[in-house]
């Protein structure tokens, strides 16, 4: 079994990689920073020395680099079981005040990366007639909020992508799920001085995603909203 995880070198992505490798999966991980990827690979290989771990440094906001990563995955693995579109960028802002080009940049990272990668991975899953695609959105993709700006727009767009993808791929036995996490302990919250006990753990999200893989072929979790127990921050 193989799980592809974008943004897999730290935070949510690394938590997912740890969960899947613990459960016996082989991995394909990408992130922008090669040093972070190699460090993550060392940690993961220690968890399961027999697992194959493909790492690939790339910027998924650039279509060519998305395609290069996808081709490497397709060359390395014959069967592809799980794709987690986790790579993303968070930048708060006000629509009328934020820097020119922010929407374009966030759409490239938060939406187009998932769109282009899925378009290259899905044909293999369609041949197999099975697979799970998980898109990591955000509670910012469910409702507008102060300082949401272009980030919120990009996550709303990712949610629309997921809904259409689910409809398109269901005849092939491919499941499509969207996770809407609230505040989760990751690099985005470093330096915030928020009590860690007030924020979800990355493992909460990774455990939820893995649980989706244990369902029968007849069942799919379309959407999951996850928030800190005491509500959003």
Q: Are the CB atoms for 226 and 208 separated by under 8 Å?
A: yes
CA nearest 60: which of 111, 14, 113?
A: 113
Q: Is 25 a catalytic residue?
A: no
Task: Locate all alpha helices (DSSP H) within 48-148, ordered by sequence.
Answer: 63-76, 102-107, 113-128
Q: Are the CB atoms for 27 and 35 separated by under 8 Å?
A: no
Catalytic site residue from 25, 56, 115, 151: 151
- Containing 134, the helix (H) or strand (E) segment is strand 131-136
Strand, coil or helix: 109: helix
- The angle, 0 to 180 degrees and rounded to 10, between the axes of the packed helices 11-22 and 34-47 is 30
**CB neighbour class for 204 (10 Å; exposed up to 12, middle 13-18, buried from 19):** middle
108 secondary structure, DSSP code: I
Cβ atoms < 10 Å from Cβ of 212: 17
Active site residues: 151
């Amino acid at each position: 079994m193989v799980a592809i995880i974008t943004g897999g070198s730290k935070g949510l992505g690394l938590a997912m990689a740890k969960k899947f490798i613990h459960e016996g999966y082989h991995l394909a991980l990408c992130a922008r920073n090669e040093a972070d990827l190699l460090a993550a690979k060392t940690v993961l290989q220690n968890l399961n020395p027999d697992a194959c771990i493909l790492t690939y440094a790339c910027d998924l906001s650039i279509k060519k680099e998305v395609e290069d990563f996808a081709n490497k995955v397709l060359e390395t693995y014959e069967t592809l079981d799980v794709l987690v579109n986790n790579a993303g960028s968070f930048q708060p802002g006000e629509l009328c005040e934020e820097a020119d080009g922010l929407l374009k940049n966030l759409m490239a990272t938060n939406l187009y990366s998932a769109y282009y990668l899925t378009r290259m991975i899905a044909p293999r899953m369609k041949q197999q007639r099975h697979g799970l695609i998980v898109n990591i959105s955000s509670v910012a993709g469910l409702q507008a909020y102060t300082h949401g700006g272009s980030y919120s727009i990009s996550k709303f767009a990712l949610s629309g992508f997921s809904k259409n993808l689910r409809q398109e791929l269901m005849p092939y036995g491919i499941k499509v799920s969207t996770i809407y996490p609230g505040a989760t302990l990751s690099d985005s919250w470093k330096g915030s001085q928020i009590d860690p006990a007030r924020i979800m753990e990355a493992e909460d999200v990774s455990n939820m995603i893995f649980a989706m893989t244990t369902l029968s072929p007849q069942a799919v979790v379309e959407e999951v909203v996850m928030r800190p127990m005491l509500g959003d921050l």
